Amino acid sequence: MAEIDLPSVKELLWHKMRGDLTTLVPWFASNDLLLCPTCGRALKYDEFSVEHIIPQQAVADDPAAVRVAISKNMRSGLTLLCKRTLVFSNKSIPGHGCNSWKGKYYDKYIREALQPDVLSRRFHSRHHMAVMAAGYLGLFREYGYQIALLPSGLLMRSQFFRPNSFVPEMPMEFQMLLTGGPPESYTEDDREYWSEPFKVGVEAGAAYVVMRHFSLRLPLSRDPTVPLARALPYAPPRYRLRLNLAAILD
């Protein structure tokens, strides 16, 4: 299946993400910046690149029938991540920002985790962290910047930069990962398994993210399905609706 050309995908993502961000933080309407969903820096268009959340190398391993039926971008799930050099404690990290960070620390492990024989392989903490990082980006892709800006988002973003172990603040209940095996062949009944890489559910204090055959719970400080109050929660007395009885009394 033909791929959509990447530059236009980037533009679409940029406008969608900026639209979402501006509704939450109106300050962004007066500039041309976007927050990186992982490092949180406010950066320009040229400092972002398209990120395949499930890496391209991983979806290249999908069965041939799947590759014919469903586009690569759809099977990956896309977002924008920054490509500006990361700096930790005044030290520059070689590479292209969060995009390179994910590529270096997680993409190989996401690919391995998605192999059909995952249950017979050695599965270690880096695989777990990689699936969590992808799960966070899947959750961000679904609900946008409110995920990144919540206290739980800050926790997940700290976790993103700790690829070998859990951050100490991560509650135990979110340190578990469930998995089964992927479908062995492609049928129309399985289409959603491949075409929608992240299925997200929400309950009090947690998000359930299913990434293909993995299921994980992620911390969530606020239910993103409940609309945010974007206007004053009360009406000033002068504007309050009052019964006008003048016509009746006349």
CB closer to Zn ion out of 34 and 39: 39
Q: Where are the alpha helices (DSSP H) in the chain?
A: 6-24, 56-59, 64-69, 72-76, 97-102, 108-113, 125-143, 145-149, 151-160, 191-195, 246-249
**Least distance (Å) between residue 98 CB and Zn ion:** 3
Residue nearer to Zn ion on the CB measure, 86 or 210:
86
CB 82, min distance to Zn ion, A: 3
Of 55, 49, 41, nearest to 11 (Cα)? 49
CA distance 129 to 177: 10
- Closest to 75 in 3D by CA, of 102, 110, 100: 110
CB 189 to Zn ion: min, Å: 38
The bridge status of strand 34-35 relative to strand 206-211 is unpaired
Among residues 38 and 76, whose Cβ is nearest to Zn ion? Answer: 38
CA distances from 88 to 38, 56, 105, 204 (A): 14, 28, 16, 34
Q: How far apart are CA 135 and CA 130, in angstroms?
A: 8
CB of 97 or CB of 135, closer to Zn ion: 97
Q: Which is nearer to Zn ion, 98 or 129 (CB)?
A: 98
- Of the CA atoms within 13 Å of residue 181, those in its CB half-sphere come to 8
Question: Can you give the binding site for Zn ion, defined by CB under 5 A?
Answer: 36, 38-39, 82, 97-98
* Cα 220 to Cα 234: distance, rounded to the nearest angstrom: 28
Least spacing, CB of residue 44 vs Zn ion, in Å: 13
Q: Indicate the residue among 148 and 200 with the shorter CB distance to Zn ion.
A: 148
The burial class, CB within 10 Å (0-12 / 13-18 / 19+), for 8 is exposed
